[in-house]
Amino acid sequence: MVVGHGMVGHCFVEALRDRDLDGRWHITVLCEEPTPAYDRVALPCYVGTWDRGTLALTGNDYAGDDLVRLQVGERVITVDRDAHTVTTSQGQEIGYDALVLATGSYPFVPPIPGNDLDRCFVYRTLDDLDAIRAAAEASEPGAVGIVVGGGLLGLEAAMHCGCWV
Ligand SMILES: Cc1cc2nc3c(=O)[nH]c(=O)nc-3n(C[C@H](O)[C@H](O)[C@H](O)COP(=O)(O)OP(=O)(O)OC[C@H]3O[C@@H](n4cnc5c(N)ncnc54)[C@H](O)[C@@H]3O)c2cc1C
């Protein structure tokens, strides 16, 4: 079982399928996001096209491969290492023989009061960008956006400001 379907989870599945010539392993992939593995590094390219397909990693749906079962929108919430099971946000309990956590990372949000308020976003997923876009579209003309963090991603987000609507 693979938990997480980012670039690493997808590469892992492909590498395992390439090596498992006898087809011994049945692979279940549980993906928290609603979209199968995409090129997160190219996320800024989503702004303006709003076409998720352009970022899709090749072969990310494992079409025609009966040994891989991909479930999107399924977050693992507990792992029972004794019982060799995981439970998911959808209430499923699924058994495994080997478990690979390819769960990536999360953006660090400084503990600033108010950081959980409405219209306060992070910049990591396609859904994040859709949420920022929806907020921009709902704003009055002349509304001001603030980017906190002036690293590469912060600058990219600011650069795309004119493209959100
Ligand atoms: C806009 C942007 C630009 C970037 N540019 C660069 C760059 O130029 N160069 C570079 O080296 N890196 C860059 N990075 C970082 C790079 O994207 C990450 O290092 C890379 O995505 C890591 O891949 P991953 O598969 O390990 O994790 P992730 O891409 O984070 O994927 C992990 C997946 O697991 C899912 N997941 C997490 N927990 C669970 C759970 N409990 N159950 C089910 N699923 C779960 C997550 O939702 C996610 O879909 C960039 C990141 C962003 C956001």
57-68 tens-digit pLDDT: 999 999 999 999
Residue 74: CA atoms inside 13 Å, Cβ hemisphere, count?
22
**3-state DSSP assignment of residue 31:** strand
In the sheet that holds 27-31, the strands lie side by side as: 68-72, 27-31, 2-3, 100-101
What is the pLDDT at residue 159? 83
Q: Work out which ligand 1 atom sits closest to the CA atom of 89.
A: 42
Structure tokens at 153: 């991603």
CA distance 93 to 91: 7
The pTM assigned to this predicted structure is 0.94
- Tell whether ligand 1 has an atom less than 6 A from the beta carbon of residue 32: yes
Q: Work out which ligand 1 atom sits closest to the CA atom of 75.
A: 42
- Tell whether ligand 1 has an atom less than 6 A from the beta carbon of residue 102: yes
Closest residue by Cα to atom 53, ligand 1, is: 124
pLDDT tens-digit readout, 120-163: 999 999 999 999 999 999 999 889 999 998 898 888 888 876 66
Find the mean pLDDT for residues 89-106.
96
Q: Work out which ligand 1 atom sits closest to the CA atom of 37.
A: 49
In the chain, the domains with their CATH numbers are 2-101 (3.50.50.60), 107-164 (no CATH)
The answer to whether 50 touches 133, Cβ cutoff 8 Å, is yes
Mutate to test the pocket of ligand 1, among 32, 38, 127 (most ligand atoms within 8 A of CB): 32
Find the mean pLDDT for residues 96-125.
95
